Structure 1
Amino acid sequence: MTLSDAFLWPGTKACERLGLDPEADAGLIRWFFNTLFYLVIGLVIVWIIVA
């Protein structure tokens, strides 16, 4: 597993669970799920550090 595969893993698994092809549509579906995943993780980390 390469580093890029590790970063894209949450989106890939979300697409597979929904029965979508993670490579379709130039990876935009996978990108969307990765963005949501890392947004939540980032906000939690910022909330912990600031609060």
Structure 2
Amino acid sequence: LENMAAEAVKRDGRLARFPLGDKNKEVISHRFLLSKITDLIEEHISAIS
């Protein structure tokens, strides 16, 4: 995520707008973000149920 954030600062501020040089780190970062977003969605669904 730190690499993605550093790239975002250099460009337009958005994460994952351009591919990173290290594809493996990029995939790991995307999977991490997806897991966090999934957790937030599940928490939200539980809260409104």
When normalised by structure 2's length, the TM-score is: 0.50
Rg comparison, structure with higher value: 2
With a CA cutoff of 8 Å and minimum separation of 6, indicate the structure with the bigger relative contact order: 1
